[in-house]
Copies of this chain bind each other. A is one copy, B any other.
């Protein structure tokens, strides 16, 4: 697709966008350009409405009965089915539970127990993935390794379990899952895929790639709300072979028998642990309905176009990008370097353009294809140009450092 070179062209692309009606399902303030959906997705109207229902009717009016009557007890599974459809795996192989960090521990622990070799992560990927393997290694004595940068040929027979991001949280580089799985299979290695920055954005078709294990968060491109529960995918036959270390009561075959001895539930269901946070889970469940009937290949194509446009504009501004270039496969964000990136991001936020900053010098702009338009990218780039030219980012209040998730 051609990259728009004027606001008029950007507007025309929005008019022709097959996904253009989806934005209406979101409850977004039109005075904002929200380029941080890769960090925290925006709410759909349906999600906010469902939250009111869960709080005011299910909890307040029906109280404990709602575990049955409102289907709370089934939510980890019924909501998991919606994610299964988005990432392209069998419906019953996804379960909503806990956080990404906790789910990595469960899968890595289970896989290491089955084949106690070395466990490995990639330095420079999202830190929690490595931190969790470091913790697992401290607890169990598992040998810990790091993978060299590069393609699937960095896999060798020295490791048994790998955690790997599909989309890098800084560069937006995309890993070729099929190629890695092929190499992993040849070396008897299990890969846990971190889909956090990929699910809801790329047309993953995960089952076809041969991937057997994955985790991901619900609050980025899946729009499940701040800190939404995470999910875990495990191929059924593979899961049946695994002993899950965080064997809490919700992963028991018959939790309401209150038996003294743990017995795992079927397949991925054994990865449940404690009682799930229903208010947050209910919102995620409703948020996922926006994907119903949506072609993930159309979503990926639109994201590619939005990214190409932003890259072209940033190049004109002389900003060096660390993202895959125009026409290349990438995630739903672009990171560009500037020594004063932090201040520039704050200056943009003050103008209603919300991006974020990642140390040491990366300005990161995300574009959720469900609600971001080509004109949004165009207007944001105009403002970025104005801030750089006028140097309004030099205002000292923009230098004050705050934590940003």
Contact = CB atoms under 8 A, between A and B. Distances in A.
Copies per assembly: 2
A40 B69 CA distance: 15
A219 B64 CA distance: 11
Contacts of A281: 227, 277
A245 interface: yes
A141 to B, nearest CB: 8
Interface stretch (A80-88, A123-131, A178-186, A320-328): A123-131
A227, A354, A404 — most chain B CB neighbours (10 Å): A227
Contacts of A154: none
A1 interface: no
Contacts of A229: 277
Contacts of A40: 59, 63-64, 67
A39 to B, nearest CB: 5
B278 A246 contact: no
Contacts of A269: none
A48 B60 contact: yes
Interface residues of A, number: 92
B64 A359 contact: no
A156 interface: no
A135 to B, nearest CB: 4
A117 B228 CA distance: 37
B101 A139 contact: no
27 contacts: A27-B60, A36-B64, A39-B64, A40-B63, A59-B225, A59-B226, A64-B354, A66-B226, A72-B226, A99-B273, A99-B274, A99-B276, A101-B250, A102-B246, A105-B246, A109-B139, A127-B255, A127-B260, A128-B249, A131-B247, A131-B262, A134-B262, A139-B140, A225-B279, A227-B279, A257-B359, A258-B359
